Amino acid sequence: MPVLEIQNLHVAYSSREGTELQALAGAGFALQQGEILGVLGESGSGKSTLAAALVKLLPPSGRITKGAVLFEGQDLLQANSEELRRVRGARIATIFQEPSLALHPTMRVGKQVHQVLAAHSAAGNGALRELTQETFSMLFSGDADRVAKSYPHQLSGGQRQRVLIAQAIVCHPSVIIADEPTASLDPTTQMEILGVFRTLQRKLALAMIFITHNPALLAGFADRVLVLYGGRVVECGPAEAVLASPQHPYTRALFKSIPANLEQGTNARKMKLPAIPGDASSLPQEGCSFEPRCTERMDTCRERRPALVNFAAAHTVSCFRCEK
Amino acid sequence: MQPLIKVENLCKRYARRSLLGAGEELLALDRVSFTILPGTTLAIVGESGSGKSTLALCLACLEHPTSGGIWFAEKEIANLSENELRKCRPQIQLIFQDPANSLNPRWNALEILLEPLAVQNKSTRAEMKHRASFLLERVGLSPEILKRSANELSGGQRQRLAIARALALEPKLLILDEALSALDCSVQAQIANLLLELQSSLGMTYLFITHDLAMAAHFADEIAVMNRGRIVEHGPAQKVLQQPGNETTRQLLAAIPRMSNATLPVPER
Amino acid sequence: MRYLLRRLGHAFLLLIGVSILAFFFATLAPGNYFDEMRLNPQIAPEAVAALRAQYQLDRPLPMRYVAWLNSTIHGEMGFSFAYNSAVAPLLISRARNTLLLTITATLLAWGIALPLGVWSAERLGRLPDRLLSWGTAALLVIPDLTLVLGLLVFAVKTGWFPPGGMVSVDFENLSSIQKVRDLMRHMTLPVVALVLSVLPLLVRHVRAAVADVLGAPFLLAAQGHGIRRRTLLYRYALPAAANPLISLFGFSIGTLLSGSLLIEVVMSWPGLGPLLLESILSRDVYVVIGGVLLSTLFLVGGNFLADMLLYWIDPRIRTESSAP
């Protein structure tokens, strides 16, 4: 039984001029208990919209037009605001981007974690304080007390990120959604935080949706990888399968455009990277969304939209070239 | 060949004063020295707090170093007056990490491009407009972008616009301060290609500041690794990557996420 | 500590400077208190001259200033010709009446402006918010004098409130409870006038400050943690919006003595306002100087208080940030 299931999610934003921008056009997947699902997507793919839509935290200009989010036996999109509030933070925790902005600037970080507990628990202050201390010790070991009394501007980027993680796990949720949690961090801190996630996930049996635009972060970290493009799922499968042998032309082109092995010889340096031409700003209304930039396009790609089909065991792709 | 940039024993101290008067000194740059030959790329790699951004500001003459010297095309520029600096500023341009912050969101692309041209009194408005269109095409943007304002553009488009703006003054040295870090992976490849192409056709010299060793490896001729204000390792890119001599370099190399990773380094608590 | 002492030193120097300027302008203005007497044929010119000498109006300016300074240090602040008493006790008793009005009005105004501003900011752009904006704009546009006169007309027409004055004629004969009721009846209209005159600006500032914060990422993150709405507004949004409001509050304190002059005069409230007005008109020089100085003291004190509050409430000003 999947712990979280997204079905046919459609989200649109209305701009000031009155036009509608389709951010998600039928995204769907299932998250299994205890698995890390890596969602790979670049700007314009709809990944941040996905993170916000799952707990109905879209900005006022965004609307969920179709679809369902099934969690613990109910459709979250149909829930009322109090039911949603009880789910957020306690059952499904979200870690948004930019740790420096996601924390209240004038509240001590210990208090900020405490507030999350207080919002979902009727227990007394003493019990809550103990739980907060436990969580801090888990993430900060010896330094826990000093950090808990600090304000966000007194902490480093990595420490702030750990505070966000503390806020996310303190109520022992079943699902954590992390939207680019390591984007603004140094490489060594990035590795540290990934390690923290992995440890916690194993310890607390969490299911995690890890959203990023860098596929290399998912290697050795995610169990399954899902690729978003133009608001749709274009590929989904076990991490080793998708990362080692990607099937969708977008996924393949993306991996090729990353500066690869450092141990390569001099001839590879300062040569042009095989970048994907164009950008995702204007998607075609009909046919495959990736078709304008695809090097393997065929005539049918402009006329019809490919469906997600099974390429191999549990590995689905939406591309006509993979339909056998 | 004479180096385009020569930096010798550059030091920069910041005095930090809290509200109650107690002072604290921060040594952001500690006797930094290097040279860059024209037409090549030097990558400065390090983590936050290593002093890379301070180095960029000093080289772009936006900060005065506490001591040490900077020579640009044989001319000492570290201690020039503002008037004298104005003559050589066009030749050193800076591209920042976040184009949303370095481009005026209220201006459209044309105004953004016209600004440096107007400041340097280049020519008539019609000529400047023509040059602006030419610059846009040079960086791969269509001229119809001239009407759009900066916040209507994507990250990659904004960065291209920032590069076009920098090119308007025909600089010899381009300082890229984490210019690719805020972009998506595929867009990074596009912009990197553009920069490589500009270097080969215009003979540009780059100072590429980043914490992404992988991109530095691809992009640079030489790599200098910084830690706490000092250069701890400096050499040809190949050598630094394959035979790192310093612990900082080794740590940075180990921290690069690789597609071939089967196991993760031991998680730290 | 050094900062505090420095600020106090500045404040003291400022007061000295203001006293010199006030003394200078007040005494150099043509005419003096005894000019009225000179016009009266029944009083001999020698008597006027003698009075002038007695009150030292003949002495050169610097000497008079020093004499006044001396008198101030001894707690008298000069002499009032009209009331035939030391200035200080006169000012203090009148200031008490003014403060009774203004402190009540300030507390009421802030007490209404804060929840109203928060309520409006929550509904930014929607009908209730726009109605409130029009209402506050209308109030801002109406001159204070019109407001006060309107209230007076209301008092006279309905007879519910006394049209002016602070206490009834038979105040001394009333019991304690009746005295309090009498005072409150007389206070109502002036307080209402004061509140109406400062409320619109306060509400707009609170609304702007809170609206700014409501769009911030940390508030979205807190929503994602399932924090309750009330907590979000009052423990997260309002404290983060506090900085500009604290400066405004300091200004409110600063105008405690000076802001109600018009209302006091029109409604015959025996406060500092009417006293200053009549002293200016009759050239009761030392009362004028004393009044100006007292107002300045409050203004400087209010600013100082705001700075101290800001320092205490915002940890970013108080502590040094440690990490990049």
Tell whether B21 lies on the interface with C, counting CB pairs under 8 A: yes
Q: How many domains does chain B have?
A: 1
Residue B263 lies in a domain: no
- Does B73 fall in a domain? yes
Q: Which residues of chain A, if any, have pLDDT below 50?
A: 265-267
Distance CA A113, CA A136 (A): 9
Using the beta-carbon criterion (under 8 Å), do A188 and B251 form an inter-chain contact?
A: yes
> Rounded to whole angstroms, how far apart are CA atoms C97 and C103?
10
Q: How far is CA B47 from the centre of its chain?
A: 15
Structural domain of B48: 5-254
Angle at C45 between CA C41 and CA C47, to 5 degrees: 110
pLDDT digits (tens, 9 = 90+) for B194-207: 999 999 999 999 99
Interface test with A, best of B184, B204, B205, B249 (most A CBs within 10 A): B184
Q: Give C240's contacts in chain A (Cβ within 8 Å).
A: 104-106
**Chain C: residue nearest A164 by CA?**
C221
Closest partner residue to A272 (CB to CB) among B193, B254, B269 is B193
- Mean pLDDT across chain B, nearest whole number? 85
> B18 contacts in C (CB within 8 Å)?
319-320
Name the band, by pLDDT with cuts 50, 70 and 90, for residue B266: very low
Average pLDDT over residues C306-318: 83
Q: Which residue has the tokens 């503390």?
A: A166
**Residue B262 falls inside a structural domain:** no
**Could you tell me which residue, C37 or A175, shows the higher pLDDT?**
A175
pLDDT at site B261: 62
Determine the distance from the C-alpha atom of residue B41 to the mean position of all C-alpha atoms in its chain, rounded to a whole number: 11
pLDDT tens digits along A211-236: 999 998 998 899 999 999 989 999 99
User: Which of the residues B18, B48, B54 would you substitute to probe the C interface, choosing the one with the greatest number of C C-beta atoms within 10 Å?
Assistant: B18
Shortest CB distance from B49 goes to which of C3, C320, C324? C324
Under an 8 A CB cutoff, do A156 and C323 touch? yes
The amino acid present at C218, given as its one-letter code, is F
CATH label of the domain that carries residue B137: 3.40.50.300
Residue B269 covered by a domain? no
8 A C-beta contact, residue C205 and residue C244: yes
Neighbour tally for A98: CB within 10 Å: 19
**B82 in contact with C, Cβ within 8 Å:** no
Indicate the residue of C225, C231, C239 with minimum beta-carbon distance to A89: C225
Laid out side by side, the sheet with A175-179 consists of A92-95, A175-179, A207-212, A36-40, A224-229, A232-238, A315-317, A309-312
By the CB < 8 Å criterion, does A151 face chain C?
yes
In this prediction the ipTM stands at 0.85
* B256 has a pLDDT exceeding 90: no
Q: Is the minimum CB–CB distance between C318 and chain B shorter than 8 Å?
A: yes
For chain C, list the strands marked E by DSSP. 79-80, 85-86
Q: Is residue B25 part of a domain?
A: yes
pTM (predicted TM-score): 0.83
CA distance B62 to chain A (A): 24
Q: Which domains does chain C have, with CATH numbers?
A: 97-273 (1.10.3720.10)
| Mutate: best of A49, A95, A103, A106, partner C, most C CBs <10 A | A106
Which C residues, 276 through 315, put their C-beta within 8 Å of a C-beta on chain B?
311
Q: What is the mean pLDDT of residues B163-184?
A: 90
Structural domain contains residue B137: yes
How do residues B184-239 score in pLDDT, each as one tens digit?
A: 888 888 899 899 999 999 999 999 999 888 888 888 999 999 999 999 999 998 88
Decide if B185 and A263 are in contact by the 8 Å CB cutoff. Answer: no
The three-class DSSP label of residue A258 is coil
Residue A66 C-alpha, separation from nearest chain B C-alpha, in angstroms: 27
Cα dihedral sign for B21, B26, B31, B32? negative
